[in-house]
Amino acid sequence: MPPRKRPQDGKKVDPPMKKAKEKHVVALILARGGSKGIPLKNIKKLAGVPLIGWVLRAAHDSGLFDSVWVSTDHDEIAEVAKSFKAKVHRRSLEVSKDSSTSLEAIQEFVKDHPGVDVVCNIQATSPCLHPDHLSEALKLITKDGYDSVFSVVRRHQFRWKEVNEGGSEVTVPLNLDPKNRPRRQDWDGELVENGSFYFSTTSLIKKGILQGGKMTYYEMKPQYSVDIDIDIDWPVAEQRVLRYGYFGKVPPEVVRLMFCKLSGCLTDGRIAISSSEEEMVSFHIRDMEGLRMLKSENVEVVLLNCSQDPIGQSLVEKLRERTGCEVLTVGKKPLEDLQPFLKKKKLEWKDVAYMGNDGADADCLNQSGLSAVPGDAPADAVKAAKYSCHHTAGNGAVREFSEYILLKKQEAKSKREQVRVDCLDSGYATPSSGSQNDIPLAVEEK
């Protein structure tokens, strides 16, 4: 098949169709619990988010699917899937073996859901997937009449024939002439599957085929083509996803205020008592600098002194003077104590970042636009937070979350600017000059 021109990732695209009326389209993510390379890889935190959460977020925000499903045999994976608003298909033991294929699991899903017309099998290990990738690919089926569409990436790699060690056979080039080695800029490279997603009609799936009939590909840029197979990939993928991952629809503001618990976040939770019975706590200089960074970017910082584990008033006064931050005292249920404060400030929880360290903070962690816990926080707090720091309490966790907040603000600013430019280029009203409804969905979601 001759190469087809594809819109480049990140470029302005036509407004996508919502759900195609004549076809019932679903997204399906396969997430078996028995990963051999990395145990429970699909729900391991990547840049503070369960790995599977990145693709579930992109699938939901695309607005393309009648439903989004996770096929799994594991209770913990099922719970994470539900927390990202996905439906759960409990796969059978027959398709949950190490020897089971993806096609077998997809066929089982199709058999159990006979009303589905098109399935998009999204790989949980592709955290840099964006909604517009899915939108452009689905158009090829709903508008152009293809039966299957799969994602590819362009590679510039010379391949050689493998030979047996110690044998008499010599290797030969498979895709180049060694006498005329092309420069990278003079060679188009080759298209290879990147495994990010596979769209296919159920009629093909029932025949035991994912790629068949009238088929084509969707080309993704290399920076969005991330696949995690082994543990050594994790640090590389984390850096890539922080730069190229999809972080959700652009809100009007990211964070205007940050609440940060004193004990267990800004401190390590320990209180030393001197011989003269004076209480002492220590603060990491990196964390203090993190607070200053936020304030310099017009993010108000409010420190929370928990009445259940309080820091003495004299220390609070010194800390207020040192940081220039307001200090509030909260009780067993911080959410109830902070609601009046936000109402007075005319803020909503979506405008707030919250850093807590215990189960009592779960409600605030859940409701905040951004939330985090230190790396040594208990499981009930980690589950409620949107980001889990690598650094521990009192040892750089606040600085890490501060940098994360500023990164999100910068991304939102860049995306809003791109929305403005794209709207001007396309003739649509900009957010500042007209109704949000005048902006095409594809532009909003970039």
Show which residues are catalytic.
181
Residue 405, number of CB atoms within 10 A of its CB = 24
Amino acid identity at 43: I
CA–CA distance, 421 with 419 (Å, rounded to integer): 6
CA–CA distance, 65 with 328 (Å, rounded to integer): 44
Q: What residues form DSSP beta bridges with 220?
A: 153
Residue 324, number of CB atoms within 10 A of its CB = 11
CA–CA distance, 233 with 194 (Å, rounded to integer): 15
Task: Name residues whose C-beta falls within 8 Å of residue 285's C-beta, 6 or more positions apart in sequence.
Answer: none
Is the distance from CB of 17 to CB of 8 less than 8 angstroms? Answer: no
The tokens describing 234, both together, are 């994790």
CA–CA distance, 120 with 106 (Å, rounded to integer): 10
Sheet architecture: strand order including 215-220: 87-90, 67-72, 25-30, 118-122, 190-201, 148-155, 215-220
Is the distance from CB of 223 to CB of 240 less than 8 angstroms? Answer: yes
Phi first, then psi: give them for residue 310, nearest 5 degrees: -80, 150
The distance between the two most distant Cα atoms of the chain, rounded to a whole number of Å, is 84
